Amino acid sequence: MSHRFPALVAALWWGSLTTIGFLVVPMLFAHLPSPTMAGNVAAKLFAAQTWVAVVCCVVLLLVSRPRHGLAQYPWARAAMLFVLGGLLLALLNQFGVAPRIVARQDLRLWHSVGTVMYAAQWGCALAVLWQTLRPGAHAAVEERSAGD
């Protein structure tokens, strides 16, 4: 697998979060005739974004080590907590927070929680991208024998 592939996947994850959360959704609220209409479209976009995040995180987990190796690549050792954290945040936001926002339950609270979780996921994706672009991030993994 190309050493650039994990960086490409991380860039897709981070870029899609950035585009949806910081550009497209604010534009919806600025240009659609009603906040309800904008909210309905935004909810669908955030749901789609969740699945982009899930796929990207699963792919990153699958390519985190050589095909027949036991040890992870250096980028994966440094980024694993962020991959798992971002995956968990995406799922919690979609299945825990979003239904409360759509149901308009304590809207200010749940919108704030969702925003913080989305921003934290964005930070996780950025950290993963940063780790995949580090010099030596894709260096050959040394296997240690049981006698070491």
Write out pLDDT tens, residues 57-112: 999 999 998 888 788 888 999 999 999 999 999 999 999 999 999 898 998 999 99
| DSSP 8-state secondary structure symbol assigned to residue 4 | T
Helix, strand and coil percent figures for the chain, each rounded to 5: 75, 0, 25
Chain centre to alpha carbon of residue 9: 10
Q: At 71, which helix (H) or strand (E)?
A: none
Mean pLDDT rounded to a whole number for the chain = 91
Contacts of 46 (CB under 8 A, 6+ apart): 20, 21, 25, 93, 94, 98, 118
Question: Would you say residue 143 lies in a domain?
Answer: no
In terms of residue numbers, what domain contains 70?
5-133
| Residue 148 DSSP symbol | -
Any domain includes 139: no
How many separate domains does the chain show? 1
Cβ–Cβ under 8 Å, residues 130 and 11: no
Q: Is residue 147 part of a domain?
A: no
Q: What is the pTM of this model?
A: 0.88
